[in-house]
Structure 1
């Protein structure tokens, strides 16, 4: 029997909150501060969406200075530097804005009986800077937020979505749709067993880039989600 859509899980930075190039630039700076100077911004952009520690590990493994036996120590040092950079950036640049139409999309989905969840590859303190800057802390249109440091494994693993399911009493991932602007977001939705795993194009991931993960749909804006969801709901009710 077909089940209704009960939850839409959106990525936070880039998909629903404007973050420009802040995250990859600060991650590159953190690598540089620890002596890893040959990484390109393009390489870092390609890892956006994944858990930050996992992205650091993968990027380090391609570097000529990488020492596997010291990897955990180095990863932690780079990650701490990155988190400090994020904090300092948002404290000195407090102007953060929601992506256009994001709140309208949330409201429309809630009117259709669908809860709204946000998740992110950032840690909780960094995510809260984004939420507070966008005016979204404790926002009535957002039912739940989960960050990568609150689960055992971040994207593309299903842990964040599974935690939302448990908190909201959702019995099956087939009652969930996932929306994000990276390959990692699409893979997270797929590995979670979501009904739909939708990609949103951005500066880092083009239509062709996102299609490599075989998403349900690739869209250019959040508002394009609404007709797709309405069609799914009509099919479910038949």
Structure 2
């Protein structure tokens, strides 16, 4: 397990905000596969510099709201919405056989909740896609709540999802919040919200260097390693 800094012993964590895809959920490259379907749907060439640049942008912005990514890539709202519809259709069609829990994720969430910590799962997907993933995994009762862009403000790297979770959990102080994710956007959103623990995991999109550069206080191999970092 990569080295990490020690947690602040004076801060009792009351809330853990966990990313889904790449952090608690693995989808075996389904995001990029679905992006390719979306890019094709709005007329992007199947191969060449433009497609390569778009794929790189998708990788760099993993964790962000998908509609915002498509707005940045495709210029007009009509194209962005068409790409988003194609993306979600392609992703949803593969959820049942392409999505599975990160080993140990459910056990880690259960241990945190049994210790009195509120756990909220967040995503860059839409609410319907998030719900499809939750139901496919049988996770409806696993965390305390689920949040997605739109229903809980702007997506990452804005702080809205973390702040919405903090309001929902009625934390005593924003420093009692831990944010966990596999992308720079996860870490940046937590930092902007004021969370004291910013935990990167190496089970998803971004490297340790990218996570550290974004401000991660800890970097772990997996969310399964999280409870000892959070619990007193």
TM-score, normalization: structure 1? Answer: 0.84
1:35 corresponds to:
43
Note the C-alpha offset of 1:46: 1.6
- In 1, the alpha carbon distance for the partners of 2:104 and 2:161 equals 24
- Tell me how far apart the structure 2 counterparts of residues 109 and 53 of structure 1 sit (CA, whole Å): 32
| Aligned partner of 1:130 among 122, 130, 133 | 133
Tell me the CA shift for residue 31 of structure 1.
1.1
| Residues 1-238 of structure 1 mapped to structure 2, 5 A cutoff | 2=10, 4-37=12-45, 38-40=50-52, 41-60=55-74, 68=75, 71-90=76-95, 93-94=96-97, 96-137=99-140, 139=141, 141-230=142-231, 233=232
- 1:26–1:86 CA contact under 8 A, matched in 2: yes
SS of residue in 1 equivalent to 2:23: coil
Question: How many corresponding residue pairs?
Answer: 217
Q: Any idea what SS the aligned residue of 2:103 has?
A: coil
1: CA distance between counterparts of 2:172 and 2:229? 22
Distance 1:44 1:3, change over 3 A: closer
Structure 1 consecutive aligned stretches of length 4 or more whose deviation exceeds 6 Å: none
Q: For residues 89 and 100 of structure 2, what CA distance do their matches in structure 1 show? A: 21
Relative contact order (alpha carbons < 8 A, sep ≥ 6): 1 or 2 greater? Answer: 2
